[in-house]
Structure 1
């Protein structure tokens, strides 16, 4: 499972939480777009708004620079070759070790924002724990 949400500490942060299955699915998507520059790939996930969980999708795309857009329940991540390589590294390490260290993934530009949005990869323990901690743990 994959869950994404804004924050938890700033509107210039985006957290993506993964369990092992979600990490494998996301890794496959990153691998596919990194090998084919014209390809985009959708990955099913859940968006957490702080009050509810909604079915969503993350669209992974190749780009010259890192950009992100959130449109309703759709998150689009455009990633450079370097970002794809780093995502692959972090996800493989998570699959082997069971945790993200460091959790910081990359800074993404976002239309209408003065500052880049920092994206974090974090382990997903459970939806109940996420809801009870409001994304802080």
Structure 2
């Protein structure tokens, strides 16, 4: 366990830092409604299934879908992304479990659907990128 993150397998400190940085950058892009920055967190050939079950293939398609979504039904949606687990898959490839908590624009948790995402993050020529993943809407965790 590293800073509350369960690490399984040999994941060097610099990989942990890079991968948690990808997640932090993705959160910032979502919360600032910056579809271009969000898309840049994904590999050119990424495969992503969003919380509505829509599969998007490639960075351009992910960015293209995200822009109108962020200007439309997601414009008042914000979230906190918390890395819960990083699993070494192969050299330069990890799986990342991320819990998403709905927040207001100031970052205070609010009522609403939570998310449970799985990202496969790999080192690419242009840095660490999400190459595959899925986001699932889930009920809020029960208190207690």
Q: Flag the structure with larger Rg.
A: 2
Is the TM-score greater than 0.5? no
TM-score if structure 2 supplies the norm length?
A: 0.30
